[in-house]
Chains A and B, each alone.
Chain A
Amino acid sequence: MSPARTFPGGILLPAHKHASSATPIRTPALPPELFLSLGDATPLVAVGDPVLKGQLLAAAGSDGLPVHAPTSGHVARIEFAPRAEVPGHRAVLIPDGAERWCERTPVNPATRTLPELLAAVRAAGIVGLGGGGFPTDIKLAPTHPIDTLVINGMECEPYITADDRLMREEAGAIVAGMRLAARLLGDPARILVGIEDDKPEAAAAMTAALAVADDPREIVIVVLPSRYPAGGERQLIQLLTGRQVPSGGLPRDVGVVCFNVGTLYALHRALALDEPLLSRIVTIAGGACREPANYRALLGTPVAHLLAASSYQPARCEQLLLGGPMMGIPLDDVQAPVTKTTHCILAATAAELPPARQPQPCIRCGLCADVCPASLLPQQLLRHAVARDHRQLERHHLLDCIDCGACAYVCPSAIPLVDHYRAAKAEVRALRAERGAADQARRRFEAHQARVARQSGERSARHAGLIGTSADHDAPASAPVDAAPVATDLLEQALARAGAATPRRAPLERALSAAENRIAQLETQLAALDATATEAQRNGLRARLEQARLDGDLARQRLLALPAEPSPTPDGNPQ
């Protein structure tokens, strides 16, 4: 089917998956409180309101994601959560234990049109559950023709078994979700399912489910050797199709869309059963938990609740991570809620994740470059990240770093490379946003100037209309005219004159006297500043004074440059 397909770099890691993959997915008891981050979504319920499971709590904000009640109960409070991953407001829901559903109206997806299905996906608030958190409805409405749908069942990071368990237990629903996704994507020619070779049970379950589904399309389950980070979206696409997603691009640029198996499961639940995304599978793992397992956790469940269900022993925990051992970030607050992208909580003992060694200087061994799956130059990136040379960082494609942590894992000097890159990426993104804002300001300034020019043109046109002088030049293209049709000719003539003729004396004289007035006023103000005035106030006044002087000088120069005779244009009724 293809030449040898591989991705650059990568490392072999001990899997540590058996502890949590042996037991079926557990449903934890309802937690006493659920914490639902609202972002800038608009709340539709008030404090004290009773809510039903699946009820819309807040209408989608700028991220396009609505917030639903994961269970029935009432809204205890809406509060500010400064310690959250993204600080903002959150709703606190106290479950009543009844799990009463709101009204659901399941419709056979086969009878619905594509726009209806897309709207349903959006309303269900589904995002990529593999960790990316990208809104699924956007991925399902591709702008490019898609010939390959890639299903990600790799789960390459050690300890994590959420997708493994889900494939073993819900393969039928995943396949149903896969077929819905394929339909929404315009029936791509082939569907490739990537599963790592350390999950034979999952591969077998998926194969069986596919046999039952009996889909006429080319659907291939590809069992791939375990190599971290083979489950990265770009790496998996390269492994399965041989295509490289371009730097700064998206999989759809090479005709591919990739979904995690958990996302497909949620898609099936949303479209076939009319259930919004209310829960997800979370792996609780690590030696500091006596019973590592996977949980079907309601969104908003405090992490501490799941840890307690797994007999968490804080005393043995060296590092508590949100995520796996490679990409996880330290979790300071065990009351932090499960979100749509929480796939693992790792409570690692000191034997599993020893405390970070003191970083030593880089010895240029080059191991990091060997293992980088994105073919980046980690040494160069580190140098530029430390120097905060954002231009060089962008030139070295920092933003193509996928945070996999392979470089830091192999570094003999124990340099936390990926932490440097993560910080640098945040800075580069902030700078880009700033640059975007500056471009926007420039566009608005140019639009403002164009409008001012047009309005002054229209004003002189009104004057010109009285005497009807003709002009030799065309109206400047930069000054569009949108006056009544009758006035158009006059306007054009006047605009042409305004663009070509020498400036008139009266406006310049007005500008000069205005500047002089301003100078006098500012000088008085400056003199009146007493000792309590701040340096900033003083400087502000001085700068404005300087500006006024410059304006005055400019007007004076222009006046001197005018021909001795006043301009022949009558200065009708100056404003």
Chain B
Amino acid sequence: MGSAEFLTQLPAALATLATLAVLAAAVFGRATHADRDIDIDIDIGIQGLQTAERELAAQIEDLLPQTQCGQCGHPGCRPYARAVAAGEPFNKCPPGGHATIAAIADLLGTPPLALDPEHGREGPKLVAYIREAECIGCTKCLPACPVDAILGAPRQMHTVIAAECTGCDLCVEPCPVDCIEMIPAPVRSALMARDQRPPVAA
């Protein structure tokens, strides 16, 4: 193979690892036994890529707020993390908001995106609250809760364990009497006055 021919093939060759490897083998005339090596190399390469993608998904999942709300269009935070690792835009998580987007952008080494308003708006953390006087004890909200944070039994009043509620909103819709509302989450640890930041030097 002449060098001119090699150059014309260069862009295509760069497109995939496999092509490049085959080409290199051809150039150096090691086709016969090198083919097998290349196959093995490619196998390891693809497996490595899959492993890398899985690891990336796990790292992304660690950055997600674990609200399990499905607002991103995926049934839970892990599937969303996998989709992002596979190339889906990472601006679909309203509970995580800008902080989560920035963290994922940081991880992926790409500029951050604006939150996609299709999937909701960023807001304060909420928790579900059941107006107990109105609850009829239908148990319909119980299976909707992704983290089993609603306590109740048939014809018994239900209540939300606020400390475990992720604020995903999924219990609001199944309620036939609309007695569940989302209220601002109680502040876990108020910053003390002495923990306020001093001004920065000009």
Q: Determine whether B76 belongs to the interface, using a CB cutoff of 8 Å to chain A.
A: yes
CB < 8 Å neighbour of A360 from B119, B146, B198, B201: B201
Question: What is the chain B residue whose CB lies nearest that of A440?
Answer: B164
Whose C-beta in chain B lies nearest to the C-beta of A442? B66
Write out, one digit per residue, whether chain B residues 159-178 have a CB within 8 A of any chain A CB (1) or not (0). 00000101001000100000
- In the complex, what's the smallest C-beta–C-beta distance from A508 to chain B, in angstroms? 15
Interface flag for B91 (CB, 8 Å):
no
Stretch at the interface among A14-22, A250-258, A443-451, A565-573: A443-451
A539 and B117 within 8 A (CB): yes
Q: Within 8 Å CB of A225, what residues of B?
A: none
Bound Cα distance from A86 to B196, whole angstroms: 14
Whether A86 lies near B120 (C-beta < 8 A) is no
Query: Does B66 lie within 8 Å of A439, measured CB to CB?
Result: yes
Chain B 115-126 interface 0/1 with A at a Cβ cutoff of 8 Å (1 = within): 001111101000
Min C-beta distance of A434 to chain B, whole Å: 8
Considering only residues 32-88 of chain A, those with a C-beta below 8 Å from chain B are 85-87
Q: How far is the CB of A418 from chain B (nearest CB, A)?
A: 9
Complexed CA–CA distance, A550 and B70 (Å): 11
Q: Which A408-453 residues sit within 8 Å CB-CB of chain B?
A: 413, 415-416, 419-420, 422-423, 425-427, 429-430, 433, 437-442, 444-445, 447-449, 451-452
Q: Are B68 and A546 in contact (CB under 8 A)?
A: no
Assess whether B191 is in contact with A430, with CB atoms less than 8 Å apart: yes
B147 interface residue, CB < 8 Å from A?
yes
Given the complex of chains A and B, what is the CA–CA distance between A423 and B67 in angstroms? 27
B195 touching A422, Cβ below 8 Å: yes
User: Residues of A contacting B198 with CB < 8 Å?
Assistant: 359, 416, 419-420, 423
Q: A367 on the interface (CB 8 Å rule)?
A: no
Flag if B118 contacts A547 (CB, 8 Å).
Answer: no
Could you give, for residues 519-534 of chain A, a 1 whenever the CB lies within 8 Å of some chain B CB and a 0 otherwise? 0000000000000000
| Contact assessment for A543 and B120 in the assembled complex, using a CB-CB cutoff below 8 Å | yes
Task: Determine the chain B residues whose CB is within 8 A of the CB of A425 once the complex forms.
Answer: 195
Does B65 touch A at the CB level, under 8 Å?
yes
Chain B residues near A438 (CB-CB < 8 A): 64-66
What's the least CB distance linking A520 to chain B, in Å? 14
Which chain A residues border B201 with CB–CB below 8 Å?
Answer: 358-362, 413, 415
Residues of chain B lying within 8 A (CB to CB) of residue A449: 76
- Cβ-based interface call for B200 (8 A): yes
| Binary per-residue interface labels of chain A (212-238) against chain B in the complex, 1 for a CB within 8 Å, 0 otherwise | 000000000000000000000000000
Minimum Cβ distance to chain A for residue B160 (Å):
13
B149 within 8 A of A: yes
Chain A residues, CB < 8 A from B77: 442, 445
0 or 1 for each of B56-98: is its CB under 8 Å from A? (1 = yes): 0000010011111011010011000000000000000010000
Give bound CA distance, A441 to B165, whole Å.
Answer: 8
The 11 listed contacts between A and B (C-beta, < 8 Å) are A416-B198, A420-B198, A423-B198, A433-B188, A438-B66, A441-B65, A442-B77, A445-B66, A445-B77, A448-B145, A448-B147
- B-side residues, CB < 8 A to A, are 61, 64-68, 70-71, 73, 76-77, 94, 117-121, 123, 143, 145-149, 164, 166, 169, 173, 188-202
Residues of A within 8 A of B (CB): 85-87, 329-330, 332, 358-362, 386, 413, 415-416, 419-420, 422-423, 425-427, 429-430, 433, 437-442, 444-445, 447-449, 451-452, 535-536, 539-540, 542-544, 546-547, 550
